[in-house]
Amino acid sequence: MDPMEQDMMQVENSKYTLNEEQENKEIVRHYRALLRSLRPKIKKGDKELLRTAFEMATNAHKTMRRKSGEPYIFHPIAVAMICVDEIGLGVRSTICALLHDTVEDTDITLDDIKSEFGNEIAKIVDGLTKISTVMSANSSQQAENFKKILLTLTDDPRVILIKLADRLHNMRTLDSMKQEKQLKIASETIWVYSPLAHRMGLYSIKTELEDLSMKFLEPDTYREIAKKLSETKRERTKYINEFVRPLKDKLIQSGFDFEIYGRPKSIHSIWNKIKKKGVSFEEVYDLFAIRVILDVPLEMEKEVCWKVYSLITDEYLPSPERLRDWLSNPKSNGYEALHTTVMGPQGKWVEVQIRTKRMNEIAEKGLAAHFKYKEGTQTEDRFDKWFVQIREALSNQQEEGIDFLQDFKTSFLAEEIYVYTPKGDVKMLPINSTALDFAFNIHSVIGSKCIGAKVNHKLVPLGHKLRSGDQIEIITSNKQKPNEDWLSIVVTAKAKNSIKDSLREEKKIISEEGKYTLQRKLEGIGAVYNPYNVDQVMNFYKLHSQLDLLYKIATKNIDLKELKTFQVLGDKIEVPKPVNVPTEINHETHAAKSPSKKDAELIIFGESSDQIKYALAKCCNPIPGDDVFGFVSTGKGLIIHRTTCPNATQLLANYGHRVVKTKWAKNKEISFLTGLSIIGLDDVGVVNKITSIISGELKINIAALTIESKEGLFQGTIKVYVHDKEELETLVDRIKSLNGIQQVNRFDTETV
């Protein structure tokens, strides 16, 4: 059970009024529903095993309740149901899901499970127990231990599939948690679990995890988009029917066995489009996708999908740049489909996805569906290759935990591209990979000697970004060797690890010179070269390792003249004490001072706020009224961030133990600097209209104003002092009401 589940669980104090008999009936009803879902997969002897697992879990969790008040056993049954219905797992996985919290939370041991169900089930339950222990780590050790989760994944993928089911059910029942827990758990979900679900091919689960995370991380935006989707549903349904009608007729005339329907895009993906493209909800053209699902024999799949593509593009004109052929080159997570975007009625672009029934099941249930379709050996091989790459990345133990997790996300959880060697062999790389990544993918020796590449027979530099379909030839030289700059060029874990290994070896050789220099300097002040003295010098220069110290000395990046100020006591040296210069933080620089009772505008829970100094984060510039949290940063004290800050997800997911519950108190005496960007039609007097609203009507002070006009449009940035979010929202609404204003957005970056 991870920390979230510990918080979701309470013992005995039930909010429910159901008596024990009614509860037991309800538990049995849930269990029978699980058996009905599992019926097609149950073989001789399985029913008895399932019954034993159910009874073992029910008895073990007997006294436990979740935060909602319901008996805890509902959770393992719900997780098992997700495994069966939504992931397509079988009897063994169901038994593991029922027992997934027993070893950690109850008196049941792994040996009990082994003697009752055998080694295979015990091993999976052990893996699930280890993951829970890892995810409850209270430091960046959580990211470091993430390696253990991935080792378990490569050992038996069912472990991570059951864990994803566990996380999905916890996200579905997150409403009963306190807000700070909701933020941490939702951030962890979007940071680790959602990309992992995507990479395992579980698109429905990935989408739901993203939407549920957004519901807690950005509730206002989530509600706004959900409301607009609801309001436009009738209009959308009418358009889908109009779009589908001629296609249906053509497919029937051609004798295809098919389903065709439209489905809305997820709230999270719509929000991503709004942010990426800088458009409003009304301007997002693909709020839905049309899906055509064909029932055809395996050997005819490709041919029929292309025939249907031809029928669709005869009716509607396609966008050539938006064709995605995952029939010829399935994704590494097994996804196969043909995607095209066509111009529909009323001048609207519409995405159409063409799949067969088999492909659709793989798209919905990912890895689990591969075991059902034995013919899909090619895609299973790609999964195996992916696992091999993960094992290679895990073999490097030098990586810092957080760095490792970031590298893992860019290397293994990103979309991929397919490129070719000069001989025509296909290689799979994550999106944004460079020619240098390709070289290291071939072999670490080739990567280390790479001086350039030819992409499609044209010479390109090492940092050239590759695209699907590129053919690459690597040019090498024996005189070449990796340097620090290469780390900013590559994105794959394999390339980064190889470069770091090479740099480390180079560093060791150079640092030998630094060792002799430091030895001479220490002897010059009457001290000896020993581990204690080297540590003292290392700490004085604020370095993390002796290797860094000696390397910086050798490369003359450290001035050893300061050693003269050290005091020698016998053989040992004493570092001079640093002088503390008090720094005063004030609101004029939009950082907060230590609050007094008169002007305290933040309430920091669990601490005496009179004694806490805090500053407002420059990455998101929070103002009163924003949802915020405090983050204890190393050396800078408490920093206040907005929960929608670009850095919030990473901080909450990886450093949850350093987060302090914080909220604003009412205060109208202090102004906070914030910024707005405005886009509109370049009209006479537009600047005057904007400034008269800000200064004249709303009496808000302007700190800076810049306007640039180009080809009939103007783009402006305004920095203003406001008292709180309410005042800022009033200002935004007033500016938006002016004729010709298209967009008014608050800054989210360090531009204020």
Q: Which residues are catalytic?
A: 104-105
Residue 426's DSSP bridge partners are: 420
Provide the 10 A C-beta neighbour count for residue 180.
17
Q: At what angle do helices 267-277 and 219-231 cross, to 10 degrees?
A: 100
Q: Are 33 and 79 in contact (CB under 8 A)?
A: no
DSSP at 192: I
Q: Are 621 and 603 in contact (CB under 8 A)?
A: no
Pairing of strands 349-356, 288-294: parallel
Dist. CA 217–CA 189, nearest whole Å: 11
Q: Cα dist. 404→143, 234, 396, 726 in Å?
A: 8, 47, 10, 41
Dist. CA 43–CA 592, nearest whole Å: 66
* Cα atoms found within 13 Å of the Cα of residue 638, Cβ hemisphere only: 22
Q: With DSSP H G I counted as helix, E B as strand and the rest as coil, what are the percentages for the chain, rounded to 5? A: 50, 15, 30
| Both structure tokens of 662 | 């914080």
Beta strands in 156-297 (DSSP E): 258-264, 288-294
Q: Are 641 and 633 in contact (CB under 8 A)?
A: no
Dist. CA 230–CA 275, nearest whole Å: 21
Q: Are 623 and 659 in contact (CB under 8 A)?
A: no
Q: Residues near 581 by Cβ (< 8 Å), separated by ≥ 6?
A: none
Helices in 67-202 by DSSP H: which ranges? 74-85, 91-99, 102-105, 110-117, 119-135, 141-155, 158-172, 179-188, 194-199
Q: Are 496 and 487 in contact (CB under 8 A)?
A: yes
For the four alpha carbons of 411, 417, 421 and 427, in that order, the dihedral sign comes to positive
Q: Are 567 and 574 in contact (CB under 8 A)?
A: yes
Dist. CA 616–CA 622, nearest whole Å: 6
Pairing of strands 659-664, 701-710: unpaired
Dist. CA 574–CA 557, nearest whole Å: 22
Dist. CA 416–CA 422, nearest whole Å: 20
Provide the 10 A C-beta neighbour count for residue 555.
13
Q: Indicate the SS3 state at residue 180.
A: helix
Dist. CA 713–CA 707, nearest whole Å: 10
Provide the 10 A C-beta neighbour count for residue 160.
24
